[in-house]
Amino acid sequence: DVKVTQSSRYLVKRTGEKVFLECVQDMDHENMFWYRQDPGLGLRLIYFSYDVKMKEKGDIPEGYSVSREKKERFSLILESASTNQTSMYLCASSLGGRNEQFFGPGTRLTVL
């Protein structure tokens, strides 16, 4: 079974802090994704990566950056956290072709 893990289930940070969210997958998937989900809304794509060191902006990249130095790991970085980045963050990975996405358990981030 594909396993996607995220570094924390719950995280509390202060405004202005630099925040790192880590995601690791164990199935050699080439594609990895970061989403955020807010109450009553669907998943919104922040960034995705289709290969090591490659990244593309999603629908809401402002205030975020990403890093993919190894195939299995995709990091989301909040350079200077703000209260409007309080949200659930979901990581996913997929293999090309079928494009079925497998999700991690999510990180619920609160920025105070």
Partner 1 sequence: GQNIDQPTEMTATEGAIVQINCTYQTSGFNGLFWYQQHAGEAPTFLSYNVLDGLEEKGRFSSFLSRSKGYSYLLLKELQMKDSASYLCVPNTGFQKLVFGTGTRLLVSP
**Interacting residue ranges for partner 1, rule: CB under 8 A:** 31, 33, 35, 40-43, 45, 48, 50, 58, 88, 90, 94, 96, 98-106, 108
Give 62 or 96: the residue with its C-beta nearer to partner 1: 96
Q: Least distance in Å: CB of 90 to partner 1?
A: 5
Nearer to partner 1, 45 or 77 (CB): 45
Q: Closer to partner 1 at the Cβ: 90 or 111?
A: 90
Render the chain in DSSP notation, one character per residue.
---EEES-SEEEE-TT--EEEEEEESS--SEEEEEEE-TT---EEEEEEEETTEEEE-S--TTEEEEEEETTEEEEEESS--GGG-EEEEEEEE-TTT---EE---EEEEE-
